Amino acid sequence: MLPRASAQARVHTPGLAAGFKSRRTLYPLARCFSVAASPRRLYLSSEASPRAGGYSRPRPRSATKLEKSLPSRRSKLSSWSQPQIRAVATRSRPGSAAAPGVNSPIDRQKSTTPATTNTTILRGASTNTSAASSPSDNKMYTTSFAFFEAIWEAGVTHCFVNLGSDHPSIIEAMTKGQREKKGNFPRIITCPNEMVAMSMADGYARQSGKPQAVIVHVDVGTQGLGAAVHNASMGRAPVLLFAGLSPFTQEGEMRGSRTEWIHWVQDVPDQKQIVSQYCRYAAELKTGKNVKQMVNRALQFARSAPAGPAYLCGAREVMEEDVEPYSLDQSLWEPVELGGLPARAVRDVAEALLAAEEPLVVTGYAGRNRAFPPALVELCDTVKGLRVLDTGGSDMCFPADHPGWLGVKYGSDPAIRTADAILVVDCDVPWIPTQCRPRADARIFHVDSDPLKQMMPLHYMAAQKRWKADGLTAVEQVTAYLKGSSAAQARLAGDAYARRWAALQESHRRKLAEIEAKTRPADDGSFGAGHLSRTLRELCPRDTIWSIEAVTCTGFVHDNIQATLPGHWINCGGGGLGWSGGGTLGIKLATDAEHGGHGRGKFVCQIVGDGTYLFSVPGSVYWIARRRNIAGLANRRILPPGWNAPRKSLLLVHPDGEGSRASNEEINISFEPSPDYAGIAKAAAGGDLHAARVDNAADLERVLKEAIAVVEGGQSAVIDVKVMNGC
């Protein structure tokens, strides 16, 4: 330990004694700092707890020489007031809180101390003499503060955070921004779990069409994003991710240098590689001088089709860096826009649909653009007999009240086998070759923002032509061609198309009747997801936004919800179960913001299976819902309790195998004994949540009416509904 300086030089900072919080552990900090002067440095020593871990002190000259040097330097020290010395000492401790009566390190102003070759500096503070602070400083502008300014200026309104030891400057910047820039600073939403944070940002972005931000903690927080970053990638949700990095200095060379044991443990070779294969862009911030450019570059990738997550990371030293305030011209940072089809392609597609006996459109996520469904309706009204199949189910791509509606089928439907012309628009899996194939002579055209599916190692289809183009523009072009061609109009006005239209209307009426018949409850009062969904549709407001994660029951739910409004059916975009917990909260926040504030948005109803509900981390979801007063209705539980998807997968490969005759217990997918799902939510909300259970069809309408009234009154409701599988 360094020899202590004289009483004149010693600086006590009791405000640091409270400790510094890492992600998982509270580590006590030094109880007292001592400042010792040398001709060119002030050295920091401490009476530290053995667990303070990670703060390495520089080796001074011999004690004799150091003590001899002190008198010669006291004149320099004495020119600084005691509060100034205290402020510099506080600033030197990376991530430390200010001592009582001293401004936070977020505050800075130019020092009046003249610069000389022998300027006294504190190891760990900026080597720029202008960084020496005075307690009245309110002008500190760091990389972290510029980061928040950048995302706000780029249109990001919410930041979902899970903070840790890499975020001292982030916390300082958030505090400063929330105090000084109210109404012009991202709204910070605390999320105890990364899956929930990412899903909230995903849901908000999906509902609003605007990118949102997530901040997590170094490598472990990045890993915690897990399935949620997969969902955002496959679901084309524009989300900006940021994580800190373990400090890259360990001897106090810079502000932000290592101060805790955990900084060694969480230092990994290339942190961004954890999620880079799911991101449109991944990069490390190397300096604060271009942080806004880096943020906007990341957001350009996130917003350009196909949209998705982008990842940035930065070490504490970089995020603590002092930079000069600046701004960018945001009009120069717009995303890349897709064009339409070439003229020849428009003609080829239009003529193929016109000549076909059974034309078909297959789509998956084109409804993300809310102008797409009405444009597709116009095309179907122009080409009588054109039908639409959704094989993604993530968005409302085509309204259920149109005669051409075939619903959601995951890659297998009779219409695929019989169609002689197929237009695939923005779809990842139009059909599954082992389950369903188009006829050999079918003419197939593929229009997509990502027709080659560059992030999928295996993907191909036998299409005559494929184009990287905007789906909405392409559909509008084809419709305009048909309406503008006198030959096409004459043909479309013929008797053949009139008969086809009449047959399509009759087929649609028959389909709706069959769906309704399948949903009727059994004599013993049991019922399936179809009856639950139909009852919800009848009782909830007409413009309800449906947040769906029903997995193997999605078809039944979709058939009976029968969504008709663009943007009012939102399903998980990928295969990472647990999206709908946080996703529903994000959707509700977004619709409230769109309609003037808290509680003014559309009614939001979540339908989710029991296994998926547990994946969603309900303890965090309903704590956030209570903290932020986000009211929504959730319904869940399927019998037999457990994962149904693995059984379905088993039967597709081994329909007559041993597992086909085994119970859920035997194949290890059972959730018996069944948890109290609604009780979990109520406990997480501290009791401030409406929880109920329904086991019989006779009680369903009454319980749902009560729950809807509660939600409309501003409180969340979770209904544990016992539904039978397969109907």
- CA-nearest of 153, 154, 173 to 321 is 173
- Kindly state the DSSP code that residue 683 receives in the 8-state scheme: H
Angle, CA of 248, 224 and 320, to the nearest 5°: 30
What is residue 640's predicted lDDT score, i.e. its pLDDT? Answer: 59
Q: What are phi and psi of 184, to 5 degrees?
A: -135, 40
Question: End-to-end CA distance of the chain, in Å?
Answer: 74
Q: Flag whether 5 is in a domain.
A: no
Q: Flag whether 3 is in a domain.
A: no
- CA-nearest of 612, 636, 599 to 195 is 612
For CA atoms 392, 363, 235, 312, the dihedral sign is positive
Average pLDDT over residues 680-688: 97
Please give the torsion angle defined by the CA atoms of residues 118, 120, 122 and 127, in that order, rounded to the nearest 10 degrees: -50
Angle, CA of 684, 689 and 695, to the nearest 5°: 100
Does the reported pTM lie above 0.85?
Answer: no
218 Ramachandran zone, left/alpha/beta (phi>0; psi -120 to 50): left
Q: Is residue 685 predicted with pLDDT exceeding 60?
A: yes
pLDDT digits (tens, 9 = 90+) for 368-414: 999 999 999 999 999 999 999 999 999 999 999 999 999 999 989 99
Please give the torsion angle defined by the CA atoms of residues 714, 719, 725 and 726, in that order, rounded to the nearest 10 degrees: -30
What is residue 138's predicted lDDT score, i.e. its pLDDT? Answer: 58
* Secondary structure of 325-363 as H, E, C letters: CCCCCHHHCCCCCCCCCCHHHHHHHHHHHHHCCCEEEEE
What is residue 671's predicted lDDT score, i.e. its pLDDT? Answer: 72
Can you list the alpha helix ranges (DSSP code H) found in 12-81? 63-78
Verify that 542 and 497 share a domain, yes or no.
Answer: no
Confidence band, pLDDT 50/70/90 cuts, at residue 213 = very high
Residue 235's domain is classified under what CATH number? 3.40.50.970
Helix, strand, coil percentages (3-state) for the chain, rounded to 5, are 40, 15, 45
Confidence band, pLDDT 50/70/90 cuts, at residue 645 = confident
- Kindly state the DSSP code that residue 123 receives in the 8-state scheme: B
**CB contact at 8 A, 218 and 244:** yes
Alpha carbons 209 and 302: distance in angstroms, whole number: 12
Verify that 172 and 320 share a domain, yes or no.
Answer: yes
Q: Which element (helix H / strand E) includes 389?
A: strand 387-390
- CA-nearest of 425, 357, 423 to 397 is 425
What is residue 674's predicted lDDT score, i.e. its pLDDT? Answer: 80
Task: Specify burial of residue 118 (Cβ count, 10 A radius: 0-12, 13-18, 19+).
Answer: exposed
Verify that 159 and 115 share a domain, yes or no.
Answer: no
Q: Half-sphere exposure (CA, 13 Å, Cβ side) for 663?
A: 7
What is residue 47's predicted lDDT score, i.e. its pLDDT? Answer: 34
Domain that holds residue 549: 519-724
What is residue 666's predicted lDDT score, i.e. its pLDDT? Answer: 83
Alpha carbons 386 and 585: distance in angstroms, whole number: 37
Chosen domain end from 276, 309, 332? 332
Q: Is residue 419 predicted with pLDDT exceeding 90?
A: yes
Verify that 121 and 150 share a domain, yes or no.
Answer: no
Alpha carbons 173 and 361: distance in angstroms, whole number: 50
Average pLDDT over residues 163-184: 96
Average pLDDT over residues 679-696: 96
What is residue 673's predicted lDDT score, i.e. its pLDDT? Answer: 78
Q: Is residue 239 predicted with pLDDT exceeding 60?
A: yes
Confidence band, pLDDT 50/70/90 cuts, at residue 665 = confident
Q: Flag whether 1 is in a domain.
A: no
Q: Flag whether 169 is in a domain.
A: yes
Verify that 98 and 182 share a domain, yes or no.
Answer: no
Q: Flag whether 137 is in a domain.
A: no
Verify that 625 and 530 share a domain, yes or no.
Answer: yes
124 Ramachandran zone, left/alpha/beta (phi>0; psi -120 to 50): left
Verify that 572 and 496 share a domain, yes or no.
Answer: no
What is residue 86's predicted lDDT score, i.e. its pLDDT? Answer: 35
421 Ramachandran zone, left/alpha/beta (phi>0; psi -120 to 50): beta
Chosen domain end from 506, 534, 562? 506
What is residue 725's predicted lDDT score, i.e. its pLDDT? Answer: 80
**CB contact at 8 A, 318 and 288:** yes
Residue 475's domain is classified under what CATH number? 3.40.50.1220
**CB contact at 8 A, 626 and 632:** no
Alpha carbons 39 and 48: distance in angstroms, whole number: 26
Quickly count: other Cβ atoms within 10 Å of residue 543's Cβ. Answer: 11
Quickly count: other Cβ atoms within 10 Å of residue 41's Cβ. Answer: 15
| DSSP SS3 for 64 | helix
Q: Flag whether 94 is in a domain.
A: yes
Q: Is residue 570 predicted with pLDDT exceeding 90?
A: yes
Verify that 463 and 529 share a domain, yes or no.
Answer: no
Verify that 80 and 202 share a domain, yes or no.
Answer: no
Alpha carbons 292 and 102: distance in angstroms, whole number: 30
Count of the separate structural domains present in the chain: 4
Verify that 490 and 622 share a domain, yes or no.
Answer: no
**CB contact at 8 A, 124 and 94:** yes
Average pLDDT over residues 459-482: 98
Q: Flag whether 527 is in a domain.
A: yes
**CB contact at 8 A, 349 and 444:** no
b/e map of 341-353 (b: 16 or more CB within 10 Å)?
A: beeebbebbbbbb
Q: Is residue 122 predicted with pLDDT exceeding 80?
A: no
**CB contact at 8 A, 419 and 385:** no
Estimate the crossing angle of helix 677-684 against helix 618-627, to 10 degrees. 40
Q: For the chain, what is the mean pLDDT? A: 84
Average pLDDT over residues 414-436: 97
- CA-nearest of 223, 310, 311 to 266 is 223
Q: Is residue 216 predicted with pLDDT exceeding 60?
A: yes
What is residue 296's predicted lDDT score, i.e. its pLDDT? Answer: 99
Alpha carbons 670 and 412: distance in angstroms, whole number: 28
Chosen domain end from 479, 506, 533? 506
Verify that 24 and 105 share a domain, yes or no.
Answer: yes
Alpha carbons 335 and 343: distance in angstroms, whole number: 25
Q: Is residue 317 predicted with pLDDT exceeding 50?
A: yes
Strand duo 26-27 + 604-608: pairing: unpaired
Can you list the alpha helix ranges (DSSP code H) found in 184-254? 194-208, 218-234
- Kindly state the DSSP code that residue 542 receives in the 8-state scheme: T
Least confident interval from 55-64, 206-215, 519-528: 55-64
pLDDT digits (tens, 9 = 90+) for 529-561: 999 999 999 999 999 999 999 988 999 999 999
Least confident interval from 19-33, 66-80, 380-394, 676-690: 19-33
Alpha carbons 715 and 707: distance in angstroms, whole number: 9
Alpha carbons 689 and 624: distance in angstroms, whole number: 12
Q: Flag whether 204 is in a domain.
A: yes
Select the more confidently predicted residue: 353 or 725. 353
Verify that 663 and 619 share a domain, yes or no.
Answer: yes
Q: Half-sphere exposure (CA, 13 Å, Cβ side) for 571?
A: 26
